[in-house]
Amino acid sequence: MSAGPVGTAPVSAPALERPVTGPRGRTAVRVGPVSVVLRWRHLLVPLVALVVLVLVSAVSIGRGDYPIGIPDVLRTVVGLGDGPQEFIVLRLRAPRVVVGLLVGLALGVAGAVFQTFARNPLAAPDTLGITMGASVGAVAAIVLSGGTSAGALLGGLGIPLAALLGALVTGLLLFLLAWRAGVDGYRLVLVGIALWSMGAALVDWMLTNAEIYDAASAYVWITGSLNARTWDQAVPLAVALAVLLPLALATGRALSVMQFGDDTARGLGLRLAGAQAAVVLLAVGLTAAAVAAAGPITFVALVVPQIAVRLAGGSRPPLLASGLLGAVLVVTADLVTRTVLPTALPVGILTAVIGAPYLLWLLVRGRRQLT
Protein backbone atom coordinates (compact mmCIF):
# COMPACT_ATOMS: atom_id res chain seq x y z
CA MET A 1 0.00 0.00 0.00
CA SER A 2 1.45 3.37 -1.01
CA ALA A 3 0.21 6.77 0.04
CA GLY A 4 -1.04 9.15 -2.61
CA PRO A 5 -0.94 12.95 -2.65
CA VAL A 6 -2.37 14.91 0.25
CA GLY A 7 -6.15 14.78 0.33
CA THR A 8 -6.44 11.65 -1.78
CA ALA A 9 -7.10 8.06 -0.83
CA PRO A 10 -4.23 5.63 -0.66
CA VAL A 11 -3.31 4.05 -3.99
CA SER A 12 -3.32 0.28 -3.91
CA ALA A 13 -1.38 -2.07 -6.10
CA PRO A 14 -3.13 -3.07 -9.33
CA ALA A 15 -5.83 -5.66 -8.71
CA LEU A 16 -4.21 -8.48 -10.44
CA GLU A 17 -6.36 -10.82 -11.94
CA ARG A 18 -7.66 -11.70 -8.56
CA PRO A 19 -10.65 -13.97 -9.16
CA VAL A 20 -13.81 -12.86 -7.42
CA THR A 21 -16.38 -15.57 -7.00
CA GLY A 22 -19.83 -14.45 -8.02
CA PRO A 23 -23.24 -16.04 -7.70
CA ARG A 24 -24.18 -19.38 -9.23
CA GLY A 25 -20.68 -20.65 -9.85
CA ARG A 26 -19.44 -17.58 -11.71
CA THR A 27 -15.98 -16.16 -11.22
CA ALA A 28 -14.97 -12.67 -12.37
CA VAL A 29 -11.33 -12.41 -13.42
CA ARG A 30 -9.78 -8.99 -14.05
CA VAL A 31 -6.50 -8.51 -15.88
CA GLY A 32 -5.72 -4.80 -16.02
CA PRO A 33 -8.58 -3.07 -17.83
CA VAL A 34 -10.01 -6.37 -19.12
CA SER A 35 -12.43 -8.47 -17.10
CA VAL A 36 -14.19 -11.71 -17.94
CA VAL A 37 -16.77 -13.79 -16.15
CA LEU A 38 -16.04 -17.50 -16.06
CA ARG A 39 -19.01 -19.79 -15.76
CA TRP A 40 -17.53 -23.00 -14.49
CA ARG A 41 -20.42 -25.16 -15.64
CA HIS A 42 -19.93 -23.84 -19.17
CA LEU A 43 -16.34 -25.12 -18.98
CA LEU A 44 -17.02 -28.33 -17.09
CA VAL A 45 -19.85 -29.68 -19.26
CA PRO A 46 -17.90 -29.55 -22.57
CA LEU A 47 -14.84 -31.08 -20.85
CA VAL A 48 -16.85 -33.99 -19.44
CA ALA A 49 -18.65 -34.43 -22.78
CA LEU A 50 -15.30 -34.56 -24.58
CA VAL A 51 -13.98 -37.27 -22.24
CA VAL A 52 -17.17 -39.30 -22.65
CA LEU A 53 -16.98 -38.85 -26.42
CA VAL A 54 -13.42 -40.21 -26.57
CA LEU A 55 -14.35 -43.24 -24.47
CA VAL A 56 -17.55 -44.02 -26.39
CA SER A 57 -15.73 -43.64 -29.70
CA ALA A 58 -12.99 -46.01 -28.55
CA VAL A 59 -15.57 -48.57 -27.42
CA SER A 60 -17.44 -48.27 -30.72
CA ILE A 61 -14.25 -48.74 -32.76
CA GLY A 62 -13.26 -51.74 -30.64
CA ARG A 63 -16.55 -53.61 -31.00
CA GLY A 64 -16.95 -55.96 -33.94
CA ASP A 65 -16.18 -59.44 -35.19
CA TYR A 66 -12.56 -58.85 -34.15
CA PRO A 67 -12.77 -57.20 -30.70
CA ILE A 68 -10.09 -54.69 -29.77
CA GLY A 69 -9.64 -53.28 -26.27
CA ILE A 70 -9.88 -49.57 -25.55
CA PRO A 71 -6.14 -49.19 -24.73
CA ASP A 72 -5.23 -50.88 -28.04
CA VAL A 73 -7.66 -48.66 -29.93
CA LEU A 74 -6.17 -45.51 -28.41
CA ARG A 75 -2.63 -46.70 -29.10
CA THR A 76 -3.53 -47.47 -32.71
CA VAL A 77 -5.14 -44.06 -33.21
CA VAL A 78 -1.93 -42.32 -32.13
CA GLY A 79 0.15 -44.57 -34.41
CA LEU A 80 1.43 -47.17 -31.95
CA GLY A 81 -0.65 -50.16 -33.05
CA ASP A 82 0.43 -53.18 -35.07
CA GLY A 83 -0.37 -53.82 -38.72
CA PRO A 84 -3.65 -55.77 -38.46
CA GLN A 85 -5.02 -53.44 -35.79
CA GLU A 86 -4.13 -50.38 -37.85
CA PHE A 87 -6.02 -51.78 -40.82
CA ILE A 88 -9.12 -52.66 -38.79
CA VAL A 89 -9.17 -49.47 -36.73
CA LEU A 90 -8.08 -46.84 -39.22
CA ARG A 91 -9.41 -48.26 -42.47
CA LEU A 92 -12.55 -50.18 -41.52
CA ARG A 93 -14.05 -48.81 -38.29
CA ALA A 94 -12.74 -45.31 -37.62
CA PRO A 95 -14.39 -43.63 -40.65
CA ARG A 96 -17.85 -44.64 -39.48
CA VAL A 97 -17.25 -43.30 -35.98
CA VAL A 98 -15.63 -40.10 -37.26
CA VAL A 99 -18.56 -39.40 -39.58
CA GLY A 100 -21.00 -39.98 -36.71
CA LEU A 101 -18.96 -37.73 -34.42
CA LEU A 102 -18.80 -34.89 -36.95
CA VAL A 103 -22.47 -35.22 -37.89
CA GLY A 104 -23.52 -35.03 -34.24
CA LEU A 105 -21.22 -32.06 -33.68
CA ALA A 106 -22.67 -30.17 -36.64
CA LEU A 107 -26.30 -30.94 -35.78
CA GLY A 108 -25.84 -30.04 -32.12
CA VAL A 109 -24.39 -26.62 -32.93
CA ALA A 110 -26.97 -25.98 -35.66
CA GLY A 111 -29.82 -26.82 -33.30
CA ALA A 112 -28.44 -24.54 -30.59
CA VAL A 113 -28.11 -21.68 -33.09
CA PHE A 114 -31.66 -22.10 -34.42
CA GLN A 115 -33.24 -22.39 -30.96
CA THR A 116 -31.41 -19.34 -29.65
CA PHE A 117 -32.15 -17.27 -32.73
CA ALA A 118 -35.86 -18.20 -32.81
CA ARG A 119 -36.16 -18.14 -29.00
CA ASN A 120 -38.11 -21.38 -29.38
CA PRO A 121 -37.07 -24.89 -28.21
CA LEU A 122 -39.01 -26.38 -31.14
CA ALA A 123 -36.81 -24.67 -33.73
CA ALA A 124 -34.44 -27.20 -35.29
CA PRO A 125 -33.40 -28.29 -38.78
CA ASP A 126 -35.93 -31.13 -38.60
CA THR A 127 -38.94 -28.93 -37.81
CA LEU A 128 -37.79 -26.11 -40.10
CA GLY A 129 -37.75 -28.37 -43.16
CA ILE A 130 -34.04 -28.27 -43.93
CA THR A 131 -33.45 -32.00 -43.44
CA MET A 132 -36.58 -32.73 -45.45
CA GLY A 133 -35.22 -30.54 -48.24
CA ALA A 134 -32.06 -32.66 -48.22
CA SER A 135 -34.25 -35.75 -48.43
CA VAL A 136 -35.99 -34.34 -51.49
CA GLY A 137 -32.65 -33.87 -53.23
CA ALA A 138 -31.34 -37.31 -52.29
CA VAL A 139 -34.54 -39.18 -53.18
CA ALA A 140 -34.72 -37.36 -56.52
CA ALA A 141 -31.14 -38.42 -57.25
CA ILE A 142 -32.01 -42.06 -56.42
CA VAL A 143 -35.41 -42.58 -58.01
CA LEU A 144 -35.54 -40.04 -60.85
CA SER A 145 -32.08 -40.57 -62.38
CA GLY A 146 -32.57 -40.58 -66.12
CA GLY A 147 -36.35 -40.23 -65.84
CA THR A 148 -36.36 -36.44 -66.06
CA SER A 149 -33.77 -33.85 -66.90
CA ALA A 150 -33.73 -32.63 -63.28
CA GLY A 151 -33.44 -36.20 -62.01
CA ALA A 152 -30.59 -36.92 -64.41
CA LEU A 153 -28.79 -33.79 -63.23
CA LEU A 154 -29.18 -34.74 -59.58
CA GLY A 155 -28.17 -38.32 -60.32
CA GLY A 156 -25.02 -37.04 -61.98
CA LEU A 157 -24.16 -35.01 -58.89
CA GLY A 158 -24.46 -38.06 -56.64
CA ILE A 159 -26.59 -38.55 -53.56
CA PRO A 160 -24.47 -36.50 -51.09
CA LEU A 161 -24.22 -33.49 -53.38
CA ALA A 162 -27.90 -33.74 -54.30
CA ALA A 163 -28.79 -33.79 -50.60
CA LEU A 164 -26.49 -30.83 -49.97
CA LEU A 165 -28.15 -28.91 -52.80
CA GLY A 166 -31.63 -29.74 -51.50
CA ALA A 167 -30.77 -28.57 -47.98
CA LEU A 168 -29.19 -25.33 -49.21
CA VAL A 169 -32.13 -24.51 -51.50
CA THR A 170 -34.59 -25.16 -48.67
CA GLY A 171 -32.53 -23.03 -46.30
CA LEU A 172 -32.48 -20.19 -48.82
CA LEU A 173 -36.26 -20.43 -49.27
CA LEU A 174 -36.69 -20.46 -45.51
CA PHE A 175 -34.63 -17.31 -45.15
CA LEU A 176 -36.31 -15.44 -48.01
CA LEU A 177 -39.87 -16.35 -47.03
CA ALA A 178 -39.28 -15.57 -43.35
CA TRP A 179 -37.60 -12.24 -44.11
CA ARG A 180 -39.61 -9.11 -43.45
CA ALA A 181 -37.25 -6.29 -42.47
CA GLY A 182 -35.46 -8.98 -40.52
CA VAL A 183 -36.20 -12.58 -39.59
CA ASP A 184 -38.79 -13.12 -36.88
CA GLY A 185 -38.37 -16.36 -34.94
CA TYR A 186 -42.09 -17.14 -34.86
CA ARG A 187 -42.44 -16.54 -38.60
CA LEU A 188 -39.34 -18.66 -39.20
CA VAL A 189 -40.91 -21.67 -37.47
CA LEU A 190 -44.20 -21.32 -39.36
CA VAL A 191 -42.47 -21.05 -42.73
CA GLY A 192 -40.25 -24.01 -41.81
CA ILE A 193 -43.23 -26.21 -40.98
CA ALA A 194 -44.79 -25.33 -44.33
CA LEU A 195 -41.58 -26.18 -46.19
CA TRP A 196 -41.34 -29.46 -44.27
CA SER A 197 -44.86 -30.40 -45.37
CA MET A 198 -44.14 -29.60 -49.00
CA GLY A 199 -40.91 -31.59 -48.91
CA ALA A 200 -42.61 -34.58 -47.29
CA ALA A 201 -45.28 -34.54 -50.00
CA LEU A 202 -42.62 -34.48 -52.72
CA VAL A 203 -40.74 -37.38 -51.14
CA ASP A 204 -43.93 -39.44 -50.83
CA TRP A 205 -44.83 -38.74 -54.45
CA MET A 206 -41.40 -39.81 -55.72
CA LEU A 207 -41.36 -42.97 -53.60
CA THR A 208 -44.86 -43.91 -54.76
CA ASN A 209 -43.80 -43.73 -58.40
CA ALA A 210 -40.36 -45.29 -57.95
CA GLU A 211 -39.21 -48.79 -58.79
CA ILE A 212 -39.22 -51.06 -55.76
CA TYR A 213 -35.42 -51.32 -55.56
CA ASP A 214 -34.96 -47.56 -55.87
CA ALA A 215 -37.63 -46.98 -53.24
CA ALA A 216 -35.94 -49.41 -50.83
CA SER A 217 -32.59 -47.66 -51.33
CA ALA A 218 -34.20 -44.26 -50.78
CA TYR A 219 -35.92 -45.41 -47.59
CA VAL A 220 -32.58 -46.53 -46.15
CA TRP A 221 -31.04 -43.15 -46.88
CA ILE A 222 -33.87 -41.00 -45.50
CA THR A 223 -33.80 -42.81 -42.15
CA GLY A 224 -30.22 -41.59 -41.56
CA SER A 225 -27.48 -44.18 -41.42
CA LEU A 226 -23.74 -44.51 -40.84
CA ASN A 227 -23.47 -47.85 -42.63
CA ALA A 228 -20.59 -48.17 -45.11
CA ARG A 229 -19.27 -44.69 -44.36
CA THR A 230 -15.64 -44.21 -45.38
CA TRP A 231 -13.07 -41.45 -45.39
CA ASP A 232 -14.68 -40.26 -48.65
CA GLN A 233 -17.53 -38.89 -46.52
CA ALA A 234 -15.48 -38.04 -43.42
CA VAL A 235 -12.86 -35.83 -45.07
CA PRO A 236 -15.21 -33.43 -46.93
CA LEU A 237 -17.36 -33.15 -43.80
CA ALA A 238 -14.30 -32.37 -41.67
CA VAL A 239 -13.20 -29.68 -44.12
CA ALA A 240 -16.67 -28.10 -44.11
CA LEU A 241 -16.83 -28.07 -40.32
CA ALA A 242 -13.31 -26.64 -40.06
CA VAL A 243 -14.70 -23.56 -41.81
CA LEU A 244 -18.25 -23.41 -40.44
CA LEU A 245 -17.77 -24.32 -36.78
CA PRO A 246 -15.38 -21.49 -35.85
CA LEU A 247 -17.67 -19.03 -37.61
CA ALA A 248 -20.69 -20.41 -35.75
CA LEU A 249 -18.92 -20.24 -32.39
CA ALA A 250 -17.93 -16.65 -33.19
CA THR A 251 -21.62 -15.71 -33.38
CA GLY A 252 -22.03 -16.45 -29.66
CA ARG A 253 -22.10 -12.78 -28.65
CA ALA A 254 -24.59 -11.87 -31.38
CA LEU A 255 -26.84 -14.76 -30.33
CA SER A 256 -26.67 -13.64 -26.71
CA VAL A 257 -27.94 -10.21 -27.77
CA MET A 258 -30.60 -11.55 -30.16
CA GLN A 259 -32.30 -13.59 -27.48
CA PHE A 260 -33.52 -10.37 -25.81
CA GLY A 261 -35.55 -9.35 -28.86
CA ASP A 262 -35.01 -7.24 -31.97
CA ASP A 263 -35.52 -3.83 -30.37
CA THR A 264 -33.11 -4.56 -27.55
CA ALA A 265 -30.54 -5.96 -29.98
CA ARG A 266 -30.68 -2.79 -32.08
CA GLY A 267 -30.44 -0.68 -28.95
CA LEU A 268 -27.26 -2.52 -27.97
CA GLY A 269 -25.69 -1.65 -31.29
CA LEU A 270 -26.11 -4.97 -33.13
CA ARG A 271 -26.51 -4.76 -36.89
CA LEU A 272 -29.52 -6.99 -36.73
CA ALA A 273 -30.23 -7.77 -40.38
CA GLY A 274 -26.67 -8.80 -41.18
CA ALA A 275 -26.31 -10.77 -37.96
CA GLN A 276 -29.57 -12.64 -38.56
CA ALA A 277 -28.57 -13.51 -42.11
CA ALA A 278 -25.17 -14.78 -41.01
CA VAL A 279 -26.60 -16.86 -38.16
CA VAL A 280 -29.28 -18.54 -40.28
CA LEU A 281 -26.92 -19.27 -43.19
CA LEU A 282 -24.30 -20.78 -40.89
CA ALA A 283 -26.87 -23.04 -39.24
CA VAL A 284 -28.18 -24.10 -42.64
CA GLY A 285 -24.65 -24.83 -43.85
CA LEU A 286 -23.88 -27.00 -40.82
CA THR A 287 -27.09 -28.95 -41.30
CA ALA A 288 -26.55 -29.38 -45.02
CA ALA A 289 -23.01 -30.72 -44.52
CA ALA A 290 -24.17 -33.19 -41.87
CA VAL A 291 -27.14 -34.47 -43.87
CA ALA A 292 -25.08 -34.84 -47.03
CA ALA A 293 -22.67 -37.13 -45.18
CA ALA A 294 -25.07 -39.42 -43.30
CA GLY A 295 -28.64 -38.65 -44.25
CA PRO A 296 -31.23 -36.93 -42.05
CA ILE A 297 -30.42 -38.21 -38.54
CA THR A 298 -33.46 -36.70 -36.92
CA PHE A 299 -34.12 -35.11 -33.52
CA VAL A 300 -30.44 -34.70 -32.58
CA ALA A 301 -30.56 -30.96 -33.24
CA LEU A 302 -33.87 -30.71 -31.39
CA VAL A 303 -33.04 -32.64 -28.21
CA VAL A 304 -29.36 -31.96 -27.57
CA PRO A 305 -29.43 -28.15 -27.12
CA GLN A 306 -32.08 -28.45 -24.43
CA ILE A 307 -30.05 -31.10 -22.61
CA ALA A 308 -26.99 -28.84 -22.84
CA VAL A 309 -28.75 -25.77 -21.44
CA ARG A 310 -30.05 -27.78 -18.49
CA LEU A 311 -26.61 -29.19 -17.73
CA ALA A 312 -24.63 -25.99 -18.25
CA GLY A 313 -27.21 -23.49 -17.07
CA GLY A 314 -27.64 -20.06 -18.58
CA SER A 315 -30.34 -18.47 -20.67
CA ARG A 316 -29.56 -20.13 -23.99
CA PRO A 317 -28.11 -23.42 -25.27
CA PRO A 318 -24.29 -23.27 -25.20
CA LEU A 319 -22.91 -23.93 -28.66
CA LEU A 320 -19.81 -25.96 -27.81
CA ALA A 321 -21.54 -28.13 -25.22
CA SER A 322 -24.44 -28.74 -27.62
CA GLY A 323 -22.06 -29.85 -30.36
CA LEU A 324 -20.12 -32.25 -28.15
CA LEU A 325 -23.27 -33.71 -26.62
CA GLY A 326 -24.66 -34.16 -30.13
CA ALA A 327 -21.55 -36.10 -31.09
CA VAL A 328 -21.91 -38.27 -27.96
CA LEU A 329 -25.56 -38.98 -28.79
CA VAL A 330 -24.92 -40.02 -32.41
CA VAL A 331 -21.89 -42.19 -31.65
CA THR A 332 -23.65 -43.84 -28.70
CA ALA A 333 -26.82 -44.46 -30.71
CA ASP A 334 -24.79 -46.05 -33.49
CA LEU A 335 -22.98 -48.26 -30.95
CA VAL A 336 -26.31 -49.39 -29.47
CA THR A 337 -27.84 -50.19 -32.86
CA ARG A 338 -24.80 -52.32 -33.78
CA THR A 339 -24.14 -54.16 -30.55
CA VAL A 340 -27.19 -54.12 -28.26
CA LEU A 341 -30.22 -54.45 -30.49
CA PRO A 342 -30.90 -57.89 -31.99
CA THR A 343 -30.96 -56.41 -35.50
CA ALA A 344 -28.64 -53.68 -36.76
CA LEU A 345 -30.74 -50.61 -37.53
CA PRO A 346 -29.92 -47.21 -39.06
CA VAL A 347 -28.89 -44.79 -36.34
CA GLY A 348 -31.64 -42.37 -37.35
CA ILE A 349 -34.29 -44.80 -36.14
CA LEU A 350 -32.91 -44.84 -32.60
CA THR A 351 -32.52 -41.05 -32.43
CA ALA A 352 -36.13 -40.73 -33.63
CA VAL A 353 -37.27 -43.12 -30.89
CA ILE A 354 -35.48 -40.90 -28.36
CA GLY A 355 -36.52 -37.58 -29.84
CA ALA A 356 -40.19 -38.12 -30.71
CA PRO A 357 -41.36 -38.50 -27.07
CA TYR A 358 -39.30 -35.44 -26.19
CA LEU A 359 -41.03 -33.43 -28.92
CA LEU A 360 -44.43 -34.51 -27.59
CA TRP A 361 -43.36 -33.49 -24.08
CA LEU A 362 -42.33 -30.06 -25.32
CA LEU A 363 -45.68 -29.58 -27.05
CA VAL A 364 -47.65 -30.67 -23.97
CA ARG A 365 -45.53 -28.49 -21.70
CA GLY A 366 -45.99 -25.49 -23.96
CA ARG A 367 -49.75 -26.00 -24.04
CA ARG A 368 -49.93 -26.21 -20.25
CA GLN A 369 -47.96 -22.99 -19.92
CA LEU A 370 -50.36 -21.23 -22.30
CA THR A 371 -53.38 -22.41 -20.33
Q: Does 132 reside within a domain?
A: yes
Q: Does 194 reside within a domain?
A: yes
Average pLDDT over residues 64-80: 86
Q: In what order do the strands lie in the sheet with 34-39?
A: 20-21, 26-31, 34-39
pLDDT of 16 reads: 42
In 3D space, the residue among 261, 225, 266, 244 whose CA is nearest the CA of residue 349 turns out to be 225
Domain residues for the domain of 189 are: 101-370
Q: Does 4 reside within a domain?
A: no
Confidence grade of residue 341 (pLDDT, cut at 50, 70, 90): confident
Q: 30 by DSSP, 3-state: which?
A: strand
pLDDT of 36 reads: 56
121: domain CATH number is 1.10.3470.10
pLDDT of 147 reads: 53
pTM for the structure as a whole:
0.84
| Other CB atoms within 10 Å distance of the CB of residue 369 | 7
Q: Could you tell me if 68 and 62 are in contact, meaning their C-beta atoms sit under 8 angstroms apart? A: yes
Q: Tell me 237's DSSP state.
A: H
pLDDT of 354 reads: 81
Confidence grade of residue 7 (pLDDT, cut at 50, 70, 90): very low
pLDDT of 8 reads: 46
Helical ranges in the chain per DSSP H: 40-62, 70-77, 83-86, 94-118, 130-143, 149-157, 159-178, 185-208, 212-222, 231-250, 252-258, 262-267, 272-294, 300-312, 319-339, 347-370
First-last CA distance in the chain: 61
pLDDT tens for each residue of 267-303: 777 787 788 888 888 999 999 999 989 989 988 999 9
Q: Does 50 reside within a domain?
A: no
Q: Does 30 reside within a domain?
A: no
- pLDDT over threshold 60, residue 4: no
Choice among 125-134, 241-250, 357-366 with the minimum mean pLDDT: 357-366
Average pLDDT over residues 333-342: 88
Its sign, for the CA torsion 21, 27, 32, 35, is negative
Residue by residue, DSSP assigns 90-113 as IIIIHHHHHHHHHHHHHHHHHHHH
pLDDT of 30 reads: 62
**Can you tell me the distance from the alpha carbon of 295 to that of 63, in angstroms, rounded to the nearest whole number?**
23
Tell me what the pLDDT averaged over the chain comes to. 82
Q: Does 341 reside within a domain?
A: yes
Confidence grade of residue 81 (pLDDT, cut at 50, 70, 90): confident
Q: Does 21 reside within a domain?
A: no
**For the chain, percent of residues with pLDDT exceeding 70:** 83
Q: Which residue has the higher pLDDT, 338 or 266?
A: 338
Q: Which residue has the higher pLDDT, 343 or 162?
A: 162
Average pLDDT over residues 83-112: 92
pLDDT of 287 reads: 92
pLDDT tens for each residue of 13-69: 444 444 544 555 566 656 656 555 567 778 899 999 999 999 999 999 998 888 888
pLDDT of 151 reads: 55
Average pLDDT over residues 124-151: 81
pLDDT of 6 reads: 47
| Other CB atoms within 10 Å distance of the CB of residue 257 | 18
Q: 183 by DSSP, 3-state: which?
A: strand
pLDDT tens for each residue of 227-273: 888 899 899 999 999 999 999 999 888 888 887 777 777 777 778 77
Q: Does 129 reside within a domain?
A: yes
Q: How many domains does the chain have?
A: 1
Confidence grade of residue 155 (pLDDT, cut at 50, 70, 90): low
Q: Could you tell me if 31 and 17 are in contact, meaning their C-beta atoms sit under 8 angstroms apart? A: yes
pLDDT tens for each residue of 199-236: 999 999 999 988 888 888 888 888 888 988 889 989 99
